[in-house]
Amino acid sequence: MYKVISREAIAPDTFDIWLEHPNIHKRAKPGQFLILRLDEFSERIPLTIVSTAEGRLRVIIKTIGKSTYKLCAVKPGETIADIVGPLGNPSEIDRFGTVCVIGGGVGIAPLFPIAKALKEAGNRVIGILGAAKKELLIMKDEFLPHLDELYITTDDGSEGIKGTVTVALQKVLKKEKVEVIWAIGPMVMMKFVSLMAAENNTLCWVSLNPIMVDGTGMCGACRAEVGEEVKFTCVHGPEFDGRKVKWDELIKRQYQYREEEKRAMEDYLKEMGGKNA
């Protein structure tokens, strides 16, 4: 059992959670993830490691369905049953020159350790952080010390540039040569960033977040077609060259799953409402 140290709402339906764990901080690297399970009856939830400190780790969770809703409802001092990790391959951090890190929505959170490591490796780091509106933008102040330049985009124009992250990326690519791009966020966002990277012949790493069950590659749920090969995100990723990802099938499966999660969430809230009546 692992204790919840703190839980803070940092945006609507988005929570910053620190958990106790004796060992993960010793091995975790940027880009890797965990699988959490609230109790023996719960789903296994994959979450990227945002930060670590001695004896503890940090995740940021957006409540999407029943399982994430229940996880985010756990109070400091209470416990969760299982934490497995670190899993997946770490980001390829090196001194490249000028790099661009792009985060959309809750995808900003897993981008943070990558941006920090790239800056520590001596790169010039340009950041682009996007959200639907100002209230949903997270971690901007935490990113600032690790960036040489920051662009903010919001769909409604409530902060920064009005539009998507690709509007800001286009400005960056017109202005200077970028050696490597990292993009983490909604599938559609990563797809269009990858297309823009391909047009500019720029390597673009994306962190895929398809359906995942066991985290060992045995279930096959997290499969993705990359180039001409089928890869499993949990063991071959989670990062892949976005220019080679076959996005349309991946997006189709993801949205089908989200609709199922939405229905499960609605049923759960109705059940809880009945119990509280």
Q: Binding site residues, as ranges?
A: 219, 222, 234
Q: Give CA 101 to chain center in angstroms.
A: 12
Binding residues for [2Fe-2S] cluster: 219, 222, 234
What number of residues does the chain have?
Answer: 277
